[in-house]
Structure 1
């Protein structure tokens, strides 16, 4: 009986904390409701792509502000494909993302963004326009040489601004 009351208090505190986290997540989603759903892959990507980790999509001006709507803020494994007119992320457990070259504003590298910090220039970051919002999508290639291949492929693509 001596331990029942402290255990119950602890369970209530944990339940309140989980409720507040859930409420905060829902409020953030509501504040980002103006962000449209990203384009989904219209066709299967050709070729094997570059395996790695999809880090997240953030506001381009704030790499620590995760975009929570449409699963854009979920960190997961996936494969990045660079094709003639688009970049495609095929993601594990969630819908893929297709970024048309016409929407890409900049391709750069970073040492980190929300949820993932690595060595200098370890992330490939694609800054692009989604609706009226400029966003940044981060990807961490599994193989170190793939980062260079990705950057060269995107730099050689004349359609990328």
Structure 2
């Protein structure tokens, strides 16, 4: 009897934890509902300026607030991704999620960071793109499969951005 009650208490605690996480995620999305819609993907894109960069889309946060994840507009979930740089902007194609298009006029800069959205990987382990959605400045993080590509990507983005 005691063992059964202990197991039931543990299961109840686990369920409460999951319910709390779900409610927190949902409430965060509601608080961020005033963010404008994401830019739509152009009907036609120019040829990519660099070979696609494959890796992991880490997430998007409010600028310079590396733990304040944005969950609205589908920006909150990590996913395998491929990034291409076009004359029109950056295209982030994510597995299991809608693509994110960042028009070049909204991209402010790119840099290397050790952490974003709760993911800490060490010095220069993430490429972070600083961009504007309406009046809100955001940071989007990517962890490339091949980190040796970071310098050319950061340089190419910063040359085309409003740096």
Please give the TM-score of this superposition, normalised by the length of structure 2. Answer: 0.88
- Structure 2 segments unaligned to the other structure (5+ residues): none
Of residues 101-110 and 44-53 in structure 1, the stretch that sits farther from structure 2 once superposed is 44-53
Q: How does 1:57-68 map to 2 (within 5 A)?
A: 57-68=60-71
Partner of residue 138, structure 1: 141
- Give the alignment partner of residue 123 of structure 1, picking from 123, 126, 133: 126
User: Is 1:107 aligned to 2:110, yes or no?
Assistant: yes
Give 1:98's match in structure 2, choosing from 98, 101, 111: 101
- Secondary structure of residue in 1 paired with 2:68: strand
Cα RMSD after superposing both structures: 1.8
Is the partner of 1:63 in helix, strand or coil?
Answer: coil
Query: Displacement, 1:88?
Result: 0.5
Moved more, 34-43 or 58-67: 34-43
TM-score normalized by the length of structure 1: 0.89
Check if 1:87 corresponds to 2:90: yes
Higher alpha-carbon deviation: 57-66 or 14-23: 14-23
For 1:71, the equivalent position in structure 2 comes to 74
- The number of aligned residues is 160
Task: Give the Cα separation in 2 of the matches to 1:28 and 1:128.
Answer: 21
Task: Name structure 1 gaps, 5 residues minimum.
Answer: none
Using the alignment, how far apart are the partners of 1:143 and 1:57 within structure 2?
Answer: 21
Equivalent residues of 2:66, 2:118 under 8 A apart: no
Q: How far apart are 1:43 and its partner, in Å?
A: 4.4
**1:105-152 deviation per Cα after TM superposition (whole angstroms, max 9, x unaligned):** 222111111232223222111111112211001111111221122112
1:36 — aligned with what? 36
Deviation at 1:2, TM superposition (A): 3.7
Structure 2 CA distance, aligned partners of 1:147 and 1:65?
A: 24
